[in-house]
Amino acid sequence: MTNEVKERNWEPKIVAFVCNWCTYVGADAAGTSRMQYAPNVRIIRFPCTGRIDPLFIIRAFQHGVDGVIVSGCHPGDCHYVSGNLLARRRWIVFRKFMDFLGLDLRRLHFAWVSATEGAKWAQLVNEIVEEVRQAGPAPTWAMPTDGATKIEAPLPEIGLPPSPPPELTLQIRELARQLLGTGEVGVVVGYEKATGAREGAATPTFVNKPEDADRLIFNEHCVHNLAVYLTNPLVKKFGKVGIVAKGCDIRSIVGLIQENQIKREDVSIIGVVCNGVVVNGRLADKCVACPVKVPHIYDHLVGDPSSVQATTSGHPLDAQIAYLESLSPEERWNYWMPQFARCIRCYACRAVCPLCYCQPCIAEKHRPQWIPTSPHPQGNLAWNIVRAWHLAGRCVGCGECTRVCPVGIRLDLLNRKLAIEVERAFDYRPGFDPSAPTPLSTHRPDDKADFIR
Amino acid sequence: MLRKRLTSENLNKWVDSLIASGLRVVAPVREGGLTLFRPITSSTQIAADYTKTDLPFKEWLFPPTEVILHYRIVDGEPVLEDPEVDATKTVALFLRPCDAAAIPILDSVFGGDYEDEFYTTRRRNLTVVGLSCTEPQPECFCTAVGLSPTSEMGSDILLTPVGDEFLVEVLTEKGEQLVNQQPDLFADAGNLTKEQVTEQAIAKMMRKESLPTFADTYADLFEHPIWEEIARKCLGCGICAYSCPTCHCYDIVDEATLFEGVRCRNWDCCGFALFTLHASGHNPRPTQAHRYRQRVLHKFAYFLQTYGQNMCVGCGRCVIKCPVGMDIYEVVRKIVQACERVGV
Amino acid sequence: MVTVTATGMAMPRETVKVSRNIYKPYLMTIVDMRDETHDTRTLRLQFKDPEVAKTFDWKPGQFAQYSVFGVGECVFTIANSPTRKGYIECTFRQVGKVTSALRDMEVGQTIGFRGPYGNWFPVEEWEGKRLYFVGGGIGTVALRGVMQYCLDNRKLYDEILILNAARTVADLVYKSEMDEWARVDGVTLVKAVDPGGETPDWDGKVGLAPNVFEELKPTPENAILVTCGPPIMIRFMLLAAERLGFKPEQVYTTLENRMKCGLGKCGRCNVGPYYVCKDGPVFTAAQLAKLPKDF
């Protein structure tokens, strides 16, 4: 404990989010039994831990609390049967995520405390207050820190992908002509050559007449995830949509189907065999270990599956994630805070993501204003955490958000970290099975969460 | 106008002397993979091979977020407090002519009948040292909007590289004061001119053709179906507005606890879906086509009608940063072509 | 406490306090309130600063930004005429965040007020003319200030007809004041509700406002028509006015749009090149016809 802390007589301020039926009663029982325990905890009562959105935990820290406890009924005892089991899934991933951002885990605790466990509650609070006291006052979310941590683990040298053969372009054009000509689709969403200042690049295009099909191309510059247009009203108005899609894009389409945003029969997938795209002058990181170079779901396949270069390495971002994980939480905080402080809230990350389709977005809701709209460090941190968290178990790693961010925030690291944790905990990778439940909307009795006291 | 010449070495000496004199000198700096205008403590920190910054200079006159009112609750009553505004004497170094020309455009908006002191205080304390362009980029189109790679508009001093030295055009009193801090570093310009440099730079520009404006014709273009075709791929993010040196739309929001609060002014973008949404649920611009049309017409019609100049300086940042490659130069030409086809 | 620093900028070395903060509201006390309908309330406000109370002036048709500190601001017309000084009135419908917070406030509490903004009804040009005021639902609120002005300057104007219309009787605003208007010499008051909106004891007209207006056989010679209401009502009123022979320069309305600064800078409320907050909110039908369909 620093002298400053002693002088200010600082006492940890801790908020507990508890469920009404178990922990709240347990805490009450501790009181009526006249158990003495630390007074630092303010309790907020919820009907069920299933209702506790990690957003509340974020808001608590944003408003300056030093520690958070989340507690509810034991698995199997939930008043609403499975609310706490869904909560458990969330906590497993969320806790790892907050650790990755640099939150000292001495500040975040989860417990099962039943209505008869007043003594457990009292002991728990005493222990947690001491842990938070050891951790000291929480770093304020309002000001960026001095001096940024750097990642001393450069991305590997990757070079360029091979150019797809011109046959792919011709096949796509022919398919588009057919699909539009027979009226099977009302529009084909694909890529065309960019003109003007972006010569050499590709750009999204919408072809709704067969005679315009020759606009379509496919090459290594076709980076955009066109699945984002499947929920766009100006595109949907044409009826069934044909879409030129790489494997990563198709994984997003699977996500949209899983979440009932589109029906499988409303889209005709022109799957394209892809050896990778170019971002910032080199092969995109996502392509290095891509598992879907040959599309896994499609209505029409374009390209030769045997032309695919085998994947020989792991994901290039994993070394950088491992590096960050080797640092102390404070050093990680000093990496992420300056990153988020740069955010100007252009929401390009949201606009370009096919799975950010909520209308309104949580950031647009103002009764209450969950996420401050102002681009100050506090508001930016809240936005960036929530954006990444809302994509946990859903993001397919297409990398578009990172490509488009005008201030270069490493969103790809956040997304990849969450994907790793979801896969590790639930053996789930998004974007493969359209009929699978999304990982955070389901649960298994054997979900492992040893950190819950 | 005073005309001087300056060697590269003396330029650095001058910059360092300005820093030493206590001025806050803001220049293009490499930071975290981006080139941004940041304060420097030495001329060596200026980004080498600098073409254009990633974010425009406007954040120094009109920050992304700014407190415009404080209040506290005292005995149950709000007590209002005016905030303090940055009044540091600042030198902005090496703004390209497009970026410099954006400043008078913002002056028109934030001055006028209701003087926005949050802007004008910063503006008053700012001296702009522009740097002419010799290497226009593919996205640049300043000449299409009535400027040039060596335009003087908005600069207090304009430096133009001629050979291995700089022509120094001292355009305002503020500029003179700055030069007079170290008058011995500057020699008389003699017959040094920027004509040849200008010609050569213009010749290198890929998009020279003048862009039409719509101040008189926007009403005819307004309902044309081409807007939907153009705007279909627009995703409605805020990158174009936020990377634009002249875009100035803003939001006003309160952030408060029970005991005190602030009213903030934040950058906003007409491309966002909720920008014009009424509380009743009515939205005058319900689709991206409506919203993109607003962007183009605001820049090439409405602003022109109200303030007498285009609200675009041709820097091209929106073009290179747009996630889907919307190109406003191409868009304007496409609209005019489409309208001509139907005799509008 | 939220501390706000501009992203990436060095802390300033020198600061000054703003001398005339265009965003700083006057403080006003709520001195009275009255519910017009189940969701519409009128507030009577007084400036806390006696100097401001003495000198504040405005013209009929202008609006202001009303603040609930900590929640936000929103725009309402100044609902009383400058001939009735000593207080400011606003009438608003509870429909969003700020209006809900405003409706939670009580007499004696303080709100903010920034204004007056916008242009105004050119009441001098109307002298000697016959005046028709047609308000639909909450649109009548926008007309109240200018109506009061004309009633208070009664001798300057020829006959006055006021049509206060709404969907149902419950939605009619200013029910308690309408009789006061009717009592003024040479003023005809007509109240109307949409078909199906009448109560058993309803003694007014039944019909859509534009139809009721036409049936009253208004004469366009030397007349002015001022109308405000939901967009669809304004549209049909303008058509009716044309059919009746009103020239577009004789017809006035007031527009609304989402606003933030209220003073022509923030770029939000424009209809084409015109800012509703600066070049409006009062527009003639002639001006409206030239505006792009951007509202």
Region C22-45: mean pLDDT is 97
Judged against a pLDDT cut of 70, whether residue C4 lies above it is answered with: no
B282-B287-B288-B291 Cα dihedral, nearest 10 degrees:
-40
pLDDT at A6 > cutoff 60: no
- Over 90: is that where the pLDDT of C187 sits? yes
B154: DSSP letter = T
How confident is the model at residue C1, as a pLDDT? Answer: 29
- Cβ B117–C20 below 8 Å, yes or no? yes
CB B292 within 8 A of CB B272: no
Residue C6 has pLDDT above 50, yes or no: no
Residues in chain B: 344
Instruction: Please report the pLDDT score of residue C64 as a whole number.
Output: 97
d(CA B88, CA B121): 9
Asked if C2 and A341 come within 8 Å (Cβ–Cβ), the reply is no
Q: Inter-chain contact A144–C4, Cβ cutoff 8 Å?
A: no
Inter-chain CB proximity B63 and C21 less than 8 Å? no
C-alpha to C-alpha distance for A30 and A22, rounded to whole angstroms: 12
Q: Report how far residue A325's alpha carbon sits from residue A321's, in angstroms, rounded to the nearest whole number.
A: 6
Name the neighbours of C, counting chains with at least 3 Cβ pairs within 8 A: A, B
What's the token pair of residue B261?
């609060």
Mutate to test the interface with C, among B252, B259, B290 (most CBs of C within 10 A): B252
Q: Residue A158: its pLDDT value, please?
A: 83
Q: Is the model's pLDDT at B258 over the cut of 60?
A: yes
Percent of chain A with pLDDT over 90: 87
In sequence order, the 6+-apart residues with CB closer than 8 A to the CB of C159 are C130, C131, C186, C187, C188
Nearest to A198 among B54, B287, B325 (CB): B325
Inter-chain CB proximity A404 and B323 less than 8 Å: yes
At residue A147, the pLDDT reads 67
B 78-137 residues with CB < 8 A to C: 78, 80, 82-89, 109-110, 112-118, 121
CA-closest candidate to residue A95, choices A362, A379, A318, A389: A389
User: Band of the pLDDT at A250, cuts 50, 70, 90?
Assistant: very high
Work out how many CB contacts closer than 8 A connect B with C.
176
For A8, left (φ over 0), alpha (ψ -120 to 50), or beta? alpha
Q: Average pLDDT, stretch A52-67?
A: 93
Residues of A in contact with C3 (CB under 8 A): 142-143, 376
A375: nearest CA in chain C? C7
Show me where the domains of chain B are located. 2-59+83-204, 218-341
Tokens matching residue A371: 């996420």
**pLDDT value of position A144:** 58
* Exposed/middle/buried for residue A432 (C-beta within 10 Å: 0-12, 13-18, 19+): middle
The answer to whether A142 contacts C97, with C-beta atoms less than 8 Å apart, is: no
HEC states along B253-266? EEEECCCEEEEEEE
- Report the gap between the CA of A376 and the closest CA in chain B (Å): 7
What are the tens digits of pLDDT across the range B33-57?
A: 899 999 999 999 999 889 999 999 9
CB < 8 Å to C6, chain B: 59, 63-66
Distance from CA of C217 to the nearest CA of B (A): 33
Domains of chain A in sequence order: 10-135 (3.40.50.960), 166-307 (no CATH), 317-441 (no CATH)
**Are the beta carbons of A406 and B324 separated by less than 8 Å?**
no
B261 near C CB under 8 A: yes
Identify the residue among C3, C52, C69, C106 best suited for mutation to test binding to B, counting B beta carbons within 10 A and taking the highest: C69
Percent of the residues in chain B that have a pLDDT greater than 70, as a whole number:
99
Q: What is the percentage of chain A residues whose pLDDT exceeds 70? A: 97
Question: Given pLDDT bands bounded at 50, 70 and 90, which one contains residue B340?
Answer: confident
User: Does the CB of A63 have a partner CB in chain C at under 8 Å?
Assistant: no
CATH number of B2-59+83-204: 3.40.640
CB pairs under 8 A between A and B: 121
Decide: helix, strand or coil at residue C34: strand
Residue numbers in C near A341 (CB within 8 A): 7-8
Inter-chain contact B54–A195, Cβ cutoff 8 Å? Answer: no
- B183 contact partners, CB below 8 Å, separation of at least 6: none
Report the predicted TM-score, pTM, of the whole model to 2 decimal places.
0.94
Contacts of C2 in chain A (CB under 8 A): 142, 372, 376, 378
Alpha carbon A426 to its chain's center:
15
Tell me which of A33-37, A155-159, A252-256 is least confident. Answer: A155-159
pLDDT in tens, A379-418: 999 999 999 999 999 999 999 999 999 999 999 999 999 9
- Chain B touching partners, 3 or more CB pairs below 8 A: A, C
pLDDT (tens digit, 9 = 90+) per residue, A191-212?
999 988 888 899 999 999 999 9
* Closest CA–CA distance from residue A343 to any residue of chain C (Å): 8
Interface test with C, best of A366, A374, A407 (most C CBs within 10 A): A366
- Measured between beta carbons, which residues in chain C are less than 8 angstroms from residue B213? none
Three-state secondary structure string covering C131-161: EEEEEECCHHHHHHHHHHHHHHCHHHCCCEE
Q: Is the separation of the CB atoms in A438 and A430 below 8 Å?
A: yes
Tell me the percentage of chain C whose pLDDT exceeds 90: 93
The candidate with the shortest Cα–Cα distance to A409, out of A322, A321, A314, A340, is A340
Categorize the per-residue pLDDT at C13 as very low, low, confident or very high, splitting at 50, 70 and 90. Answer: confident
pLDDT of residue C8: 42
Per the CB < 8 A criterion, the answer to whether B276 and B283 are in contact is yes
> Residue B80: what pLDDT?
97
Distance from the Cα of A279 to chain C's closest Cα (Å) equals: 26
* Chains in touch with A (≥3 Cβ pairs < 8 A): B, C
User: pLDDT tens, B165-221?
Assistant: 999 999 999 999 999 999 999 999 999 999 999 999 999 999 888 998 888 888 888
Phi, psi of C73 (to 5 degrees): -125, 155
pLDDT one-digit tens code per residue, A125-169: 999 999 999 999 998 766 556 668 888 888 888 889 999 999 999
The predicted pLDDT at position A312 comes to 77
Its ipTM equals 0.94
As a whole number of angstroms, the distance between CA A241 and CA A251 comes to: 17
Rounded to 5°, the CA angle A274-A280-A285 comes to: 50
Q: How far is CA A438 from CA A93, A447, B98, in A?
A: 14, 15, 49
CA distance B167 to A48: 72
The region of weakest confidence among A64-78, A163-177, A301-315, C35-49 is: A301-315
Query: Tokens standing for A333?
Result: 């905080």
Q: How far does the CA of residue C26 sit from the closest CA of chain A (Å)?
A: 24
Chain B residues near residue C69 by CB distance under 8 angstroms: 71, 78, 254, 256, 261
Does A204 touch chain C if contact means CB atoms closer than 8 Å?
A: no
The predicted pLDDT at position C5 comes to 40
Is the pLDDT reported for residue B342 higher than 90? no
Q: Which residues of C195-216 are buried (b: 16+ CB within 10 A; e: fewer)?
A: eebbeeeeebbebbbbbbbbeb
pLDDT tens per residue, range B121-177:
999 999 999 999 999 999 999 999 999 999 999 999 999 999 999 999 999 999 999
- Per DSSP, the three-state class of C246 is coil
pLDDT at residue A377 greater than cutoff 90: no
Spell out which residues of chain A touch residue B272, defining contact as CB-CB under 8 Å. Answer: 347
- Residue A13 — pLDDT band, cuts 50, 70, 90? very high
Q: Could you tell me which chain C residue has the CA closest to the CA of A368?
A: C97
Given pLDDT bands bounded at 50, 70 and 90, which one contains residue B5?
Answer: very high
Shortest CA gap A338–chain C (Å): 9
Question: What is the biggest distance separating any 2 CA atoms in chain A, rounded to whole angstroms?
Answer: 82
Restricting to B residues 158-217, those with a Cβ less than 8 Å away from any Cβ of C are: 215
Separation of alpha carbons A293 and C49, rounded Å: 72
- For chain C, say whether A434 makes contact (Cβ under 8 Å): no
The 3 state secondary structure assigned to chain A is: CCHHHHHCCCCCCEEEEEECCCHHHHHHHHHHCCCCCCCCEEEEEECCHHHCCHHHHHHHHHCCCCEEEEEECCCCCCCCCCHHHHHHHHHHHHHHHHHHHCCCHHHEEEEECCCCCHHHHHHHHHHHHHHHHHHCCCCCCCCCCCCCCCCCCCCCCCCCCCCCCHHHHHHHHHHHHHHHHCCCCCEEEEEEECCHHHCCCEEEEEECCHHHHHHEECCCCCCCCHHHHHHCHHHHCCCCEEEEECHHHHHHHHHHHHCCCCCHHHEEEEEECCCCCEECCEECHHHHCCCCCCCCCCCEEECCHHHCCCCCCCCCHHHHHHHHHHCCHHHHHHHHHHHHHCCCCCCHHHHHCCCCCCCCCHHHCCCCCCCCCCCCHHHHHHHHHHHHHHCCCCCCCCCHHHHHCCCCCCHHHHHHHHHHHHHHHHCCCCCCCCCCCCHHHCCCCCCCCCCCC
Scanning every residue of chain C, which has its alpha carbon at the shortest distance from the alpha carbon of B89?
A: C14
Q: Output DSSP code: residue B52.
A: -
Tell me, what's the pLDDT at A8?
A: 73
Q: For C183-209, what is the HEC assignment? A: CCCCEEEEEEECCCCCCCCCCCEECCH
Q: How far apart are alpha carbons C255 and C247 in whole angstroms?
A: 19
Each residue's pLDDT tens digit, B301-319: 999 999 998 999 999 999 9
> Is A197–B206 a contact, with Cβ atoms under 8 angstroms apart?
yes
Mean pLDDT throughout A342-363?
A: 96
Give Rg (Cα) of chain B: 22
Cis, bond preceding C281 (omega within 30 deg of 0): yes
Give SS3 for B37: strand
Strands (DSSP E) found in chain C = 15-17, 26-35, 40-47, 63-68, 72-77, 88-93, 110-117, 130-136, 160-166, 187-193, 205-206, 223-228, 251-254, 270-271, 274-275, 282-284
State the average pLDDT over residues C147-174: 96
- Which residue in B138, B237, B329 is closest to A347 by CB distance? B237
Band of residue C26 on the pLDDT scale cut at 50, 70, 90: very high
Give pLDDT, residue C268. 96
* Interface touch C71/B219, C-beta < 8 Å: no
The answer to whether B42 contacts chain C (CB < 8 Å) is no
Per the prediction, chain B carries an average pLDDT of 94
Note whether B130 and C25 are within 8 A (CB): no
- Spell out which chain C residues touch chain A, with contact meaning CB-CB distance below 8 angstroms: 2-5, 7-8, 97, 100
Nearest CB partner across the interface for B88, out of C13, C70, C293: C13
Is the CB of C6 less than 8 angstroms away from the CB of B69? Answer: no
Angle between helices A411-426 and A83-101 (to 10 degrees): 140
Chain B nearest C-alpha distance from A352 (Å) = 7
What pLDDT is stored for residue C185 in this prediction? Answer: 93
Secondary structure letter of residue B233 according to DSSP: T
Question: Which of C2, C8, C100 shows the shortest C-beta gap to A341?
Answer: C8
* pLDDT at residue B216, rounded to an integer: 86
Closest among B14, B335, B337 to B166, alpha carbons compared: B14
- DSSP state, residue B274: T
From the list C4, C97, C100, which residue is nearest A376 (CB)? C4
